[in-house]
Structure 1
Amino acid sequence: MERPHPRDLPPDPDRAPPPGQPAELFPRERAEIAPGAVHVPDWLDPERQLALLTACRAWARPPAGLRTVRLPGGAAMTARQVCLGLHWYPYGYARTAVDGDGEPVKPMPGWLAELGREAVAAAGAGAVVAPPEPGDPAAYDIALINFYDADARMGMHRDAEERSPAPVVSLSLGDSCVFRFGNTVSRARPYRDVELRSGDLFVFGGPARRAFHSVPKVLPGTAPPALGLTGRLNITLRVSGLG
């Protein structure tokens, strides 16, 4: 029997709203935030969220595990990061954790690359660029996993080190956050704030592929209790096009 897609299922009665927040009258719906940028709420069901969290915990362990990223000026990013496939550092990619323990980066799992392809297909026409097919050399080959505690932030930036125009896939686990999605010209307005919750999918490609974006705020205590995660995990999947 074909498994229904998470967005086709009724709201989970066991997934209570955060403390002090009333239940929503209407379910959240898929929305195009900007041309080429699509938000799909509750795309990962609780079972897939838990499986992805378990994998993230394994990837975060040494070697080439979770580390604090330092920018060229010496400032430290408040969100900590681990990479798969290729190691991102400001502002490039390497095959070893050059700003960490120097060990080879962990490989990009095939199932995670396939999840990226599935995510772009789920986002629909709004994502503009077609997802790579399985086995395509342009398939998703990089994952950046950022961990945010209650005080962590991410400043306005754009994902510009990749050569591929394929859409960026963003998956959220744990605490909700305010995700600020801007324009492709500057870090200033216009931009739009979106609340991303655990299980949400956000895809941006086409004219939005180089848009500036940030996480100005994490909302502590909003993670689904059954997930067992304090803080927020963001899994960002990219196609490098670097050969």
Structure 2
Amino acid sequence: MFERPTAGPEGLQYVSDFISADVERELIARIRALPLQPFQFGQFEGKRRVAWFGYQYNYLSRRLEQADPIPSWLTGVIADVEAFGGPSTEIGQVLCTEYDMGVGIGWHRDKPHFDRVFGLSLGSPCKFRFRKSDGSAWERFTLDAEPRSLYMLSGASRRVWEHSIPAVEAPRYSITFRTMIERASRAAGQ
């Protein structure tokens, strides 16, 4: 059901055409209708606009906070993402993001409160870049994320590698689905 890039970080999985063009149009319309806010990184404001569901990470307090409930219009897509992730996958947090032309996201790893990360790419393609230090230089990998594609970060791709998206050339939207560390620990019987 999925394609793994022939090279690149361990734990990275990718599937093209995860959703149909009709579903993509509907999801973009739903995201555009959200009360999107500029991304807050502590005292700084990012150029991308976002809406958090389930949980929101507060960069000033460095803690997760309760956010609005995950909207029902995401139920079907979440079921498909959870099926892609496997039997123990339970999405606990969703982030909808709008990238206007010329907007990207810098190098980072998702916060340690989250376990696996799934990203649904909408609207326009992007270069999804990865890097990790080998001590004296950076090892790099770029995934061409097509519209309607889904990636999953787990293992080293999630914990060791950083990722970023350079400025996009056309408007792009994404929906990021995250599993929670607490839920993953409970599912493993820890």
TM-score bin (small chain): 0.7 to 0.9
The Cα RMSD (Å) is 2.6
- 92 and 131 in structure 1: CA distance in 2 versus 1, 3 angstrom threshold: farther
- Rounded to whole Å, the distance in 2 between the matches of 1:79 and 1:50 is 20
Q: Conserved in 1, the CA contact under 8 Å of 2:91 and 2:178? A: yes
Measured after TM superposition, the shift of residue 117 of structure 1 is 0.9
- 215 and 233 in structure 1: CA distance in 2 versus 1, 3 angstrom threshold: same
Identity, % of aligned pairs? 23
Q: Conserved in 1, the CA contact under 8 Å of 2:102 and 2:169? A: no
- Rounded to whole Å, the distance in 2 between the matches of 1:152 and 1:80 is 10
Q: Conserved in 1, the CA contact under 8 Å of 2:4 and 2:13? A: yes
Aligned to 2:165: 215
Q: Conserved in 2, the CA contact under 8 Å of 1:172 and 1:235? A: yes
- 184 and 88 in structure 1: CA distance in 2 versus 1, 3 angstrom threshold: farther
User: How many residues are treated as equivalent by the alignment?
Assistant: 176
- Rounded to whole Å, the distance in 1 between the matches of 2:173 and 2:4 is 21
Measured after TM superposition, the shift of residue 199 of structure 1 is 0.6
Flag the structure with higher strand content: 2
- Rounded to whole Å, the distance in 1 between the matches of 2:9 and 2:78 is 25
Aligned to 1:31: 5
What are the ranges of 5 or more consecutive residues in structure 2 without an aligned counterpart? 184-190
Aligned to 2:63: 92
Aligned to 1:68: 38
Match of 2:94 among 136, 143, 151: 143
Q: Deviations over 1:70-111 (max 9, x none)?
A: 323x33211111111112332432114xxxxxxxx2335443
Match of 2:70 among 104, 107, 129: 107
| Larger RCO: 1 or 2 (CA < 8 Å, sep 6+) | 2
Secondary structure in structure 2 of the residue aligned to 1:151: coil
- Rounded to whole Å, the distance in 2 between the matches of 1:217 and 1:131 is 35
Q: Conserved in 1, the CA contact under 8 Å of 2:124 and 2:147? A: yes
Task: Compute the TM-score of the two structures, normalised by the length of structure 1.
Answer: 0.63
Secondary structure in structure 1 of the residue aligned to 2:26: helix
- Rounded to whole Å, the distance in 1 between the matches of 2:83 and 2:56 is 23
Measured after TM superposition, the shift of residue 152 of structure 1 is 0.8
What are the ranges of 5 or more consecutive residues in structure 1 without an aligned counterpart? 8-28, 97-104, 121-129, 134-138, 221-230
Aligned to 1:237: 177
Structure ID, larger Rg: 1
- Rounded to whole Å, the distance in 1 between the matches of 2:84 and 2:10 is 17
Secondary structure in structure 2 of the residue aligned to 1:77: strand
Is 1:152 the counterpart of 2:103? The answer is yes
